[in-house]
Amino acid sequence: MAATHTTAAAFARDHVTDPPIRIRGSAAMRLAPDGARARLVAHDHGVLSTVHATRGVDSVPCVYAVDDEDFVGIPVDRVKPKSSSRLQRERNLAADPRATLLVEQWDPQDWARLWWVRAELWWEADPPTGRERALAALLASRYPQYRDEPFARVLVLRVVGWSGWVATPDAGADAIDQGRE
């Protein structure tokens, strides 16, 4: 594995964007950062990937909230049973603060509706004052199960990069419009 980046700025600076992907002879449609962000904000769950020291990528499904400054809150709740008070994703982030949140839309009947978004994240071990609390409130407003804020804590991660792909320009637009209502 490559050397761990020591700062979010170094991670963003060193990130290389892949060349355009071709699918069956037609150009794939990359999402601009604002389009990727809109889809992520409108979506209700994703897959969080962190780096485990020995087995590599460690992915788990999650819910999340994104604030106006592109901080992402991932809850560690007291609602679902846990095998430990400190989750593996937290131990992974303590060793390597890089993470990825992936959201996607899959429609097996209509591939014109396919899209995915990847938010490259940096874990904030000591988040700005009030950030964890504000993200907890966003999570509580977004998910009825969290109305009473049953959080042991909220992991705070900052978006340091966006990427995404969309099969057609309007794929996922309905979800974005519903997210704005």
pTM above 0.85, yes or no: no
Candidate CATH numbers 3.40.50.720, 3.60.21.10, 3.30.930.10, 2.30.110.10; the one for domain 28-180: 2.30.110.10
Residues 108-126 have pLDDT tens digits of 999 888 999 999 999 999 9
pLDDT for the residue 160 = 97
CA distances, 156 to each of 56, 67, 115 (Å)? 22, 11, 25
CA distances, 149 to each of 63, 129, 137 (Å)? 14, 18, 7
pLDDT for the residue 176 = 66
What residue segments make up the domains of the chain, in order of their start? 28-180
pLDDT for the residue 77 = 85
pLDDT for the residue 178 = 58
Positions in the chain short of pLDDT 50: 1-5, 11-13, 15-27, 180-181
DSSP assignment of 122-179: EE-SSPPTTHHHHHHHHHHHH-GGGTT--EEEEEEEEEEEEEEEESSTTTTHHHHHHH
pLDDT for the residue 131 = 98
